[in-house]
Amino acid sequence: MGQGAHDKYLKTLAFLRLYGDRPGDFPVQNAGIHYLLDDYHRWILWIPVFLGTGVGCYFGLTFEPAWYVGPSFLVTCGCMGWILRHNQVGILVVLAIAIIATGFSAAKFRTIDVAHTVLEKEIGPTRITGLVVATETRPAGLRIMMEDPEVRWLEPFDTPERIRININTNKGPKIVAGDWVQVYAVLRPPQTPATPRSFDFQRYAYFKEIGATGFSYGAAEVVHHTESLSAASTLDSVRARIGNRIRSVVPGTTGAVASALITGDRGAIPQTTVDAMRDAGLAHLLAISGLHIGLVGGFVFFCARAGLALIPALAVRYPIKAWAAIIALAAALGYTLISGATIPTLRAFTMMALVLGAVIIGRRGISMRLVAWAAMVILLFRPESLFGASFQLSFAAVIGLVAAYEYTGRRFNRMWHGSGFLRRMVLYTGGVGFSTIIASLSTAPFAAYHFHQLAGYGLLSNLLAVPLTALWIMPSALLGMSLMPFGLDGLGLIPMGWGIDAVVSIAERVGPMPGNVTLIPQIPFAALMLFVSGGLWLCLWWQGWRILGMVGIAAGLVVSINAQQPLIVAAANGELFSVRYADTMVFVGPKATGNRFTRKVWLEQAGLPVTATISAEIKDGLRCDEQGCILGAPDNSIAMVWHEAALMEDCWRAAIVLSAVPVRSRCSAPHLVIDRFDLWRNGAHAIYLDGTRIRMESTFQVRGTRPWTGKRQPDFGDAES
């Protein structure tokens, strides 16, 4: 390390008061310390990583810790910091632990803050009356969020403060936020995971403060309307009215997509269109994120500055650049609020606010630090978002793009400046392609982990769709929104619809192309952590040791390829079992033809197409009758039972017994017995078979007892998507 960098390092530590009054000698002969000191200006980028580590430690526990655990670690770190104030390495370690404890504490206090009543068991059909605070349009109805409901046959202290109900009919009155409605519906506790390692809807619902979900019998009846709504509910009402207006001007699928791009409400988009966009690698265009916020902010900034520059008296005497930044910031804030303020939108707005703030005060923003600040804000105030696909995909794409352009940006700028129109078009196309490749590589592990598939032709579809979105769709959307108060929004929304039709057409043509979609079986969480660790090491450091991040990425690939898949999965309600084969999956059970959502999740996690199922009667090694099924040889078989009459024989012959009915008598022959009570208490079970070694995993083993797991009551109905 050079003397200049060494002096800067000393000044940095002195400024942070982490360096004592005795300088001492640094062990720069160690290569790791050498790189660490040279990269001192990148240390701040690791603060959100340590915060996320603390959040992950909290959510990874199988029990609920006391509220004082995190603060106790912070106090201990403060004491240790004072003791080690002259030890440079020690003080950095203590600081890292303190940041981890901060993330742990933020997650714990967030859990306490959102605590609410959760429905214990299914009830209904029953009459429900409550205040609608949010609505979401669906292709075949409406989804409403109700607060302070009154549920017949349910005591007030057992009634959740907030419930979500699907109204699966387009008949009845139009419902908006502020309506008091009455509806007959079935209510259920939030759905338990379909497998021990699948999406935890219970945790998601807990932090959304949803205590129950359900579906209605028929349409809802509006009792009366109130104007006294909270700010959030008022915004939801405005969003709903804007969405209805957009869909009235631009009907059909086009209007549903246009509404999603402006209000963030994607519920009205047909599933076929969503699937086509996902298969073509264009799903990110439907989720309002950095691209949309950046386009809105940049377009408004350009127009505002150009308009102010046309007035010489203002352009000469006043800082019109700062004024334009303030106008653009207000537009970005309005767009963020109207679009629902999701995690990707909040991340994008935070970065946009920091960039425009730097413009206002005459400074230049540092891109990777903007990403770090945005991550810190979200993790401190919404720590549960760390495990959401939107948070992970959004930040992975941005970190990868920023890291890539940190190394190529100067060369690209030199090529851009002074070039002609034709060359700039070539550079723009190349930039879109380069960005698509980097974003695809950065998000691939998360797409594989959450969605179990990758789009092979995403580069082609993005080269066509992204310029169309940036240069046509979003400017038209801004024009339509600007003219909406005057009733002239059709001048912008109709051309916007033309662009949307073109993008959907691209998706429908690219998605079904042979070899496009690659299905991937469930990868272990450990593999995802190796990918994340390696990727962060590669992107956040500046010196040559960053290449060591490739070791983590390679290790993640090895673990993913060698991951073991469950042979048998049993649903928590005891109604469905699955047997995994190399290229298909067999569903058996008392209601094997039902539970559509559960079957879909199991197929996706197995990396199989939704149609990859066959009947049990024609599969080798599996024998079934009306009482149950036997898999394997008689002396080493697995029995799946749903009738008590089959238990007596299977208890004496099978090595493993999975029973949808209670095993009340002694069943000593099998190595493992999982009956209805085990499924009821511990949720879905997965059985892994490696030769003669049997391994069992349950939802309760993975999650433990947490505030969002409730009393582990079973759900006897099909889950909702």
Give residue-wise pLDDT tens across range 424-450.
Answer: 788 877 887 888 888 889 999 999 999
Query: Over 80: is that where the pLDDT of 37 sits?
Result: no
Average pLDDT over residues 591-619: 78
Query: Over 50: is that where the pLDDT of 19 sits?
Result: no
Tell which wins on pLDDT, 422 or 119.
119
pLDDT of residue 169: 84
The model's confidence at residue 22, banded by pLDDT at 50, 70 and 90, is very low
What would the two tokens of residue 668 be? 């000593």
Query: Over 70: is that where the pLDDT of 363 sits?
Result: no
The model's confidence at residue 228, banded by pLDDT at 50, 70 and 90, is low
**Most confidently modeled range among 205-209, 240-244, 666-670:** 205-209
The model's confidence at residue 240, banded by pLDDT at 50, 70 and 90, is confident
Query: Over 60: is that where the pLDDT of 12 sits?
Result: no
50-63, pLDDT tens digit by residue?
A: 999 999 999 999 99
pLDDT of residue 32: 61
pLDDT of residue 365: 58
Mean residue pLDDT across the chain? 85
Phi, psi of 334 (to 5 degrees): -60, -40
pLDDT of residue 669: 67
Query: Over 50: is that where the pLDDT of 504 sits?
Result: yes
Give the DSSP H or E segment for 479.
helix 474-483
pLDDT of residue 581: 84
Give Cα 706 distance to the centre of its chain: 20
For the chain, percent of residues with pLDDT exceeding 70: 90
**Pair 293, 287: CB distance under 8 Å:** no
**How far apart are the C-alpha atoms of 473 and 529, rounded to whole Å?**
37
**Most confidently modeled range among 104-118, 121-135, 294-308:** 104-118
pLDDT of residue 2: 53
The model's confidence at residue 646, banded by pLDDT at 50, 70 and 90, is confident
Tell which wins on pLDDT, 344 or 122.
122
pLDDT of residue 290: 67
SS3 208: coil
**Pair 663, 647: CB distance under 8 Å:** yes
**Pair 439, 400: CB distance under 8 Å:** yes
**How far apart are the C-alpha atoms of 569 and 195, rounded to whole Å?**
7
- What's the whole-model pTM score? 0.85
pLDDT of residue 7: 57
pLDDT of residue 609: 85
pLDDT of residue 530: 96
Q: Mark residue 88 as left, alpha or beta (left: phi above 0; alpha: psi -120 to 50; beta: remaining).
A: alpha
What would the two tokens of residue 209 be? 């403060």
Tell which wins on pLDDT, 137 or 253.
253
Phi, psi of 660 (to 5 degrees): -80, -5
Query: Over 90: is that where the pLDDT of 106 sits?
Result: yes
What would the two tokens of residue 660 be? 């949808």
Angle formed at CA 185 by CA 179 and CA 190, multiple of 5 degrees: 95
pLDDT of residue 24: 41
**Pair 239, 229: CB distance under 8 Å:** no
pLDDT of residue 515: 83
